[in-house]
């Protein structure tokens, strides 16, 4: 094994053999189990105190763990991808020296990351646990515990393996090797507190329902879904402020109004019965990212997602019965008016054109780069009309019902208009699809991604600078003479 000089100093600070070191520092597997059992007995002997202690830590987790603005990001081999200075495997051994690498989460979904490296006769484990420190007092950093475990096989099959433990607090460089501890009780308290916090959260979300499937495939689905819920919550700042991914690469300011963050988080919360979380996500987006023009506070707009946003407000109401969003009706109506205006503009085309009655827009927010310099990127994608039909039907009916309940004539009028418009949009979309379908032979037809193209896979010219999606590859066909986007009124807040 290639052990780094630092790893040698940390784990072997004296020439004494492992067996002569303090048993509290170096444990065999057998001693570790015995110590764990003794600790469990101690906890069970004082249930009241342990309960209070766990509750206080959980409260700190509530205050800090989903409050911190720092992303603790690691690669699949445990490297500190954001270069924030956390300990990594390379400090202690050479991961490329014949090791197989594994990684995962404690309890399948808890935000406690474990990296395991194994080869014949030896294994290393690194555990990273976010700390709810009692002296946080509103700071926005995220400290963590790191535990390093080094296991080597015994000299014979009868000999137990030797286990060396090392604990660290947040940063690799602590000023002194002596600051790396060989025992850290706070590490185990924090692991317990992590589980207590998330288990308590499921109880607080009164309608939360885990997937009740017991077979092997179902167990994987449960694990995956719980992991997704926790990850969604962790990436939000101050509980509800969205974050477009994590740093490095993503998670930077200015990107957080991306529509797909909202339109993924809200249905996730609703489908699992997490209505308190769902309301927080929706209210945050309405407060800070949804503009009165119907646009969003982001560099570009995905027009199909505008329809999805409206649909999900209707879904929120149907699931929760909460109509607080009526206080934001001006912003909601801004999006309704935007879709309505784009639909009406498409009616300028001849009725024989496949794009007649199909809503125009960008399907990718990053198209803004070419849209703003007057290159035509706003195409009549069928997804935009389809999302608008559903939005106008779902939200239109909600507005009519709420208008009747709350005696608000304007809600009834807006809702009925949406329902009426949805019929025309649907009719025109069906007529367009009949004109636009392409034969691929053998009596089989395909449907294009956008109306008026003569291919089911390509749009020409390529609509922006990224060609990772097949329908954006530049093809040989010429684009139809669609209306200029100049008919659109610039969206302002």
Q: What is the pLDDT of residues 206-225, one digit of tens each?
A: 787 666 666 777 777 777 88
The more confidently predicted of residues 237 and 122 is 122
How large is the angle between the packed helices 29-45 and 47-60, nearest 10 degrees? 100
pLDDT the model gives residue 178: 60
Average pLDDT in the chain: 77
Q: Sorting pLDDT into bands at 50, 70 and 90, what band is 417? A: very high
Instruction: Tell me the per-residue pLDDT of 284-306, one tens digit each, with 9 for 90 and over.
Output: 999 999 999 999 999 999 999 99
Does the structure show a pLDDT above 80 at 368? Answer: yes
416/202 Cα distance (integer angstroms): 39
Residues in the chain: 493
CB atoms under 10 Å from CB of 236, counted, come to 19
How large is the angle between the packed helices 303-320 and 259-271, nearest 10 degrees? 20
Instruction: Tell me the per-residue pLDDT of 308-352, one tens digit each, with 9 for 90 and over.
Output: 999 999 999 999 999 999 999 999 999 999 999 999 999 999 998
E strands along 96-184, which residues?
100-105, 113-119, 122-130, 144-152, 162-169
**Region of residue 239 (phi > 0: left; psi between -120 and 50: alpha; otherwise: beta):** left
The more confidently predicted of residues 247 and 350 is 350
Q: Please state the domain extents for the chain.
A: 5-204, 205-273, 290-487
Q: Residue 450 corresponds to which tokens in the numbers above?
A: 């956008």
Torsion, Cα 317 321 326 332, to 10 degrees, reads: 0
Instruction: State residue 235 phi and psi, 5-degree precision.
Output: -80, -5
Q: What distances in angstroms separate CA 1 from CA 8, 124, 127, one per listed residue?
A: 11, 11, 21
Element (H, E) at 445: strand 444-446
pLDDT the model gives residue 36: 35
Does the structure show a pLDDT above 70 at 24? Answer: no
pLDDT the model gives residue 401: 98
CB contact at 8 A, 203 and 276: no
CB atoms under 10 Å from CB of 315, counted, come to 18
Q: Which alpha helices (H) appear in 101-253, and where do they start and end?
A: 185-204, 216-234
Instruction: Tell me the per-residue pLDDT of 68-107, one tens digit each, with 9 for 90 and over.
Output: 667 778 888 888 888 888 888 998 999 999 999 998 888 8
Does the structure show a pLDDT above 80 at 431? Answer: yes
404/413 Cα distance (integer angstroms): 11
List the strands of the sheet with 113-119, edge to edge.
Answer: 26-28, 162-169, 144-152, 122-130, 113-119, 100-105
232/402 Cα distance (integer angstroms): 31
Instruction: Tell me the per-residue pLDDT of 100-155, one tens digit each, with 9 for 90 and over.
Output: 999 888 887 888 889 999 999 999 999 998 876 555 556 677 788 899 999 999 88
- Percentage of the chain modeled with pLDDT above 90: 39
The reply to whether the predicted model has a pTM over 0.85 is no
Does the structure show a pLDDT above 60 at 390? Answer: yes
Q: Residue 479 corresponds to which tokens in the numbers above?
A: 């684009």
β-pairing, 122-130 vs 144-152, is: antiparallel
Q: Which of 57-61, 197-201, 231-235 has the lowest mean pLDDT?
A: 57-61
Which of 128-132, 455-459, 469-473 is modeled with the greatest confidence?
128-132
CA angle (386, 391, 396) in 5-degree steps: 135
The more confidently predicted of residues 460 and 53 is 460
Q: Sorting pLDDT into bands at 50, 70 and 90, what band is 459? A: low
The more confidently predicted of residues 420 and 479 is 420
């Amino acid at each position: 094994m290639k052990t780094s000089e630092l790893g040698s100093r940390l784990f072997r600070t004296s020439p004494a053999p492992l067996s002569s070191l303090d048993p509290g520092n170096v444990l065999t597997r057998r001693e570790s189990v015995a110590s764990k059992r003794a600790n469990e007995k101690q906890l069970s002997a004082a249930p009241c105190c342990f309960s209070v202690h766990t509750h206080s830590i959980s409260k700190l987790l509530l205050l800090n763990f989903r409050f911190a603005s720092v992303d603790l990001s690691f690669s699949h081999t445990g490297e500190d991808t954001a270069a924030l200075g956390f300990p990594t495997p390379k400090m202690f051994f050479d991961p490329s020296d014949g090791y197989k690498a594994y990684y995962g989460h404690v309890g399948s979904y808890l935000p406690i990351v474990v990296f395991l490296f194994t080869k014949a006769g030896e294994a290393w484990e690194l555990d990273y646990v976010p700390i709810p420190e009692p002296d946080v007092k509103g700071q926005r950093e995220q400290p963590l515990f790191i535990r390093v475990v080094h296991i080597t096989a015994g000299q014979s099959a009868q000999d137990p393996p030797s286990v060396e433990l090392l604990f660290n607090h947040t940063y690799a460089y602590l000023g002194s090797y002596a600051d790396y501890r060989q025992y850290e009780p706070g590490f185990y308290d924090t692991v317990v507190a992590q589980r207590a916090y998330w288990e308590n959260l499921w109880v607080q979300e009164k309608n939360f329902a885990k997937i009740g499937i017991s077979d092997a495939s179902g167990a994987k689905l449960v694990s995956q879904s719980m992991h997704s819920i926790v990850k969604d919550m962790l990436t939000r700042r101050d509980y509800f402020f969205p974050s477009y991914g994590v740093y490095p690469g993503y998670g930077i300011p200015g990107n957080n109004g991306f529509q797909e963050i909202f339109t993924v988080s809200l249905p996730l919360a609703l489908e699992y019965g997490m209505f308190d979380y769902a309301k927080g996500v929706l209210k945050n987006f309405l407060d800070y990212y949804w503009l009165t023009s119907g646009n969003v506070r982001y560099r570009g707009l995905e027009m199909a997602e505008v329809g999805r946003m409206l649909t999900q407000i209707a879904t929120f109401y149907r699931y929760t019965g909460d109509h607080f969003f009526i206080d934001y009706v001006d912003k909601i109506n801004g999006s309704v008016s935007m879709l309505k205006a784009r639909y009406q503009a498409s009616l300028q085309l001849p009725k024989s054109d496949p794009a007649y009655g199909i809503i125009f827009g960008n399907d990718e927010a990053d198209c803004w780069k070419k849209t703003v310099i007057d290159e035509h990127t706003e195409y009549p994608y069928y997804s935009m009309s389809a999302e608008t039909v559903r939005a106008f039907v779902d939200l239109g009916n909600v507005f009519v019902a709420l208008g009747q309940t709350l005696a608000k004539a304007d809600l009834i009028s807006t809702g009925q208009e949406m329902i009426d418009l949805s019929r025309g949009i649907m009719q025109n979309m069906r007529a367009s699809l009949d004109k636009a379908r392409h034969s691929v032979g053998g009596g089989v037809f395909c449907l294009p991604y956008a109306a008026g193209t003569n291919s089911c896979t390509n749009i020409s010219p390529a609509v922006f600078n990224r060609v990772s999606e097949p329908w954006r590859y530049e093809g040989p066909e010429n684009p139809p003479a669609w209306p200029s986007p100049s008919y659109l009124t610039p969206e302002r807040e």
